[in-house]
Amino acid sequence: MKTGKVFLVGAGPGDVGLITVKGLEAIKQAEVILYDRLANPKLLEYAGSDCEFIYCGKLPDRHTLRQESINDLLVQKALAGKLVVRLKGGDPGVFGRVGEEAAALAEYQIPFEIVPGISSGIAAPLYAGIPVTHREHAESFAVVTAHDKSQDGRPLLDWEGLARGVDTIAFYMGVGNLPFICENLIKHGKPSSTPVILIHWGTFGRQKTLQGTLADISKKVLEAKFSNPSIILVGEVISLREKISWFEKKPLYGRQILLARTSASHSEIAKELLVQGADVVEFPKWKVKKLPLDLSKVTYFENIVFTSPDNAENFFAAAIEQEFDIRSIRAELFGMSSKTLKALRERGLIGKLALEMMDSEKTLIVGDDQLLQKNFQKAEVMVTSTKELDRQFLPIFQRMLKEAQINTMIFPSSASVKPFITALAECDIDAEQLLNGKQVIAMGKSTYAAVINAGLGSPEVPVSPSKEALVSYMVEHPLQGV
């Protein structure tokens, strides 16, 4: 059997847009991905539907997989002929133990590539409005691990060299040792008034910062109950933050959103929310298989109803593939939602909402018939694809939900409500309990009715079911404390 190959990939600090092009291409080709806790799980959604995921995350209180076991797995999967990606938060060469993993692969003559990533020690400060170097404030920069194998877990460092010779210092994962760090920096020459900032979940929409000095930051951290993952930044350059802070000024900064997802179009909503500074968890993840479509009888129908933008896309893709001339269609076109009508307009076709249509034997429903079969029992159905829950993502979602503090729930369509509740139940999570006290937003009147019928409270509704109206609504209706 031919030996596979391993890509040791830096995922960047959290914001999925910060991964390199090469890193993303490796994920798309991967047959196996071993990923860490600090690699954003949303990156896994770029992998193929048959890709195997193995969680190697190290939590503060326990280790899921020992490093030796990770090395062995990389070797084992590669020798089985697989294309393997080892996905690591930040840059793999900065406290990522990539040297040990590469050495294990080299020992077995397994081909590998190391793909650099943006390091959290540089990216998190920039998202907090702080460049780690500046011509007037800092000419040197150091990254330091604040937890190692030294006695009592306290780092054995050249404290005098750090205190006197480095302008800006980034300590990784050092919240537990913060008093020890501050004490030694002051003891070896750093003024007690030196600015310090902690950046928690840097570059995520859930990013939080806490600022102080070497003299008082430890007390502030205790009071605020700050924890890892956090970058601790020490240096006068922190004073620039007041002028050039940018990420925390985004309109939806502080929003931690759970988005019920049933179609690919909903990911466009998630992208816009992320652009506006929100943290977005999309759930659930589906496996979709397109079905072959027989368009030979399409010209018979007087009405054609598309149940979603995705189903419209599948229909017209089949028409192109079969060289079917859509000008031969004489039917009146309908859509289940304004988004579906928009998808038709993008193809130069004008449709109406399905609510305006009468039941008829000469009606064709393209897509899922479950939404329409009660009102249109005479209609014929053309199912364009099958969709099933991707169970590999359920434990991933559970971890994401524990690490985020969801304050906003968005249902983008009426079709998203029931599958969302069912998928939550598979994670042993009760939807009503999860959404209690959260702002619930329904995009459209039919979605509002579906949420009410599901017993999930009284949702708020933007003026229109568009992503622009959704963003405007949330900006105009901010949450307390956000």
Active-site residue numbers? 36, 58, 173
User: Are the beta carbons of 92 and 117 closer than 8 angstroms?
Assistant: yes
* Residue 210, strand partner residues: 198
Q: Give the tokens for residue 430.
A: 């009760």
Judge if the upstream peptide bond of residue 229 is cis by omega within 30 degrees of 0.
Answer: yes
Q: How far apart are CA 308 and CA 370, in angstroms?
A: 12
Query: Amino acid identity of 251?
Result: P
3-state helix, strand, coil in the chain (%, to 5): 40, 20, 40
- Provide the 8-state DSSP code for 203: T
Distance, CA of 414 to CA of 443 (rounded, Å): 8
The Cα 167–Cα 7 span in angstroms is 35
Yes or no: say if 167 and 137 are a contact pair by the CB < 8 Å rule. yes
**C-alpha dist (Å) from residue 361 to 301, 303, 305, 352:** 8, 9, 13, 19
Q: Are 229 and 121 in contact (CB under 8 A)?
A: no
Give the total residue count for the chain. Answer: 482
Q: How far apart are CA 127 and CA 124, in angstroms?
A: 5
**For 442-450, which contacts have Cβ atoms below 8 Å and span 24 or more sequence positions?**
442/411, 443/410, 443/411, 443/412, 443/413, 443/470, 444/337, 444/338, 444/413, 444/414, 446/337, 446/413, 446/414, 447/411, 447/412, 447/413, 447/414, 447/416, 447/417, 449/414, 450/411, 450/414, 450/417, 450/418
Among 252, 164, 253, smallest CA distance to 207 is for 253
Distances (CA, A) of 288 to 33, 309, 480: 21, 14, 39
Neighbours of 267 (CB within 10 A): 15
Q: Any alpha helices (H) in 276-404, and if so which ranges?
A: 309-321, 338-345, 394-403
Residue with tokens 């003299």: 215
Helix (H), strand (E), coil (C) string for 123-184: HHHHHCCCCCCECCCECCEEEEECCCCCHHHCCCCCHHHHHHHCCEEEEECCHHHHHHHHHH
The pairing of beta strand 5-10 with beta strand 385-389: unpaired
